Homo-oligomer: A and B are copies of this chain.
Amino acid sequence: MTAELQVLAALADPTRWSLLDELAGRPEATATVLAAGRTVTRQAVVKHLAVLERAGLVAARRQGRETRYTVRSERLDETARWMAAAARRWDTRLATIKQLAEGDDQ
């Protein structure tokens, strides 16, 4: 579960979403390029990308003197499904409880 929490923590930041969005628009991009249009420093972007990589939401590949990053949609989808499953689990458990309560009323 900690892996999923890592993903959630990584996604709980607007700058990171912005980076992911921009990354989804290009086949791949370096931290320097991604930092170009932003107000934050390249170093800040690098840190964010590191967080995203640890979470598995992005893949880094060094080629020559530059490191290119790519979006990994699988992790996001996985986590989404995991959350949906949790929601369903809550529902069924609550339904069971409600049913038991109604039984007690009679």
Contacts and interface: CB of A to CB of B under 8 A. Distances in A.
* Interface size class of chain A, counting residues whose CB lies under 8 Å from the partner chain: 35 or more
Given A24-B94, A27-B101, A77 B84 contact: yes
Contact of A94 (B71, B88, B94): B71
- The A contact surface, by secondary structure, is helix
A26 B94 CA distance: 7
Nearest to A9: B12
Number of identical monomers bound together in the oligomeric complex: 2
B86 A84 contact: no
A54 interface: no
Which of A1, A5, A24 is most buried by chain B, counting CB atoms within 10 A of its CB?
A24
A71 B90 contact: yes
Contact of A84 (B12, B13, B81, B89): B81
Contacts of A17: 1, 5
